[in-house]
Amino acid sequence: MTTETRPLGQRLKEDNWDLHVQAEHDTLPQHMVRGTIPKETYAELLGQMWLVSRKLDAAIVATRDGVPVLKELVTDRQLQTPYLEEDLAHWGVETAGLEPLPGTAGLIADIERSRDENPIRLFGLHYVREGANNGNKYVAMKIRKAWGVEDGAGFRYLDPYGSDQRPMWEAFKTRLNEIELSEDEKSAIVAGARSMFEHIIAMHKDFELPPVEAAEGAPAH
């Protein structure tokens, strides 16, 4: 049996790269990076992400004290529900009426299973959305330009940290590789990240949008 020697951050990137590329090049994100996503579709996407983040944030908070990697690395600033609520209010969407689409429902069920059966797996789910902020910052810029939006109102979810984005991500990755974890814990985190990508791809398919030509993608993290 081969002993795994790669740092966890490297494993998370390399072992999920195929799904990362697939998710980035789905029709929905390609419309986003081109700025051709309709405003109503963007608002609907925010609503689905709010349903996911509300569940994931609550699961992390509920289990964080008993899972060292969650306690040390997932700060309250990284919880995305408030950013999504700010954006949804900007676009006039009431959260009370939101219902999960099939892809969203599948991810919520996975979050609940992870919370109840193997909470460290929640870190893998969270890692993907935290890493996505790197490319999402670029996407927010492209959409704002296409829509003629001067400020960042309505795009806090895509760009939650502003100029702090890069240093926060570098510190996050560095500390992740320093934390002592068992092989089983590392494998659970990697599996959680892979599952998150699979669910995101499923969520993309819930949105009916016309195909686009090959477009420039957001920078990888």
Check whether 214 has a pLDDT greater than 60.
no
Question: Which of 35, 41, 32 is closest to 145 using CA atoms?
Answer: 35
Span 36-54, average pLDDT: 97
The dihedral over CA atoms of 92, 95, 98, 102, expressed in degrees to the nearest 10, equals: 110
pLDDT in tens, 2-38: 678 899 999 999 999 999 999 999 999 999 999 999 9
User: What domains appear along the chain, each with residue ranges and CATH number?
Assistant: 12-204 (1.20.910.10)
pLDDT of residue 219: 42
Residue of higher predicted confidence among 141 and 1: 141
Percentage with pLDDT > 70 across the chain: 95
Q: What pLDDT was estimated at residue 1?
A: 57
Write the pLDDT tens digit of every residue in 70-95. 999 999 999 999 999 999 999 999 99
pLDDT digits (tens, 9 = 90+) for 49-60: 999 999 999 999
- The residue type found at 71 is K
Number of Cβ atoms within 10 Å of the Cβ of 194:
18
Q: Which of 197, 221, 184 is nearest to 69 (CA)?
A: 184
Task: Give the tens place of pLDDT for each residue, 160-190.
Answer: 999 999 999 999 999 999 999 999 999 999 9
Task: Kindly tell me if the per-residue pLDDT of 65 is higher than 80.
Answer: yes
- Using alpha carbons only, what angle is made at residue 121 by residues 115 and 125, rounded to the nearest 5 degrees? 100
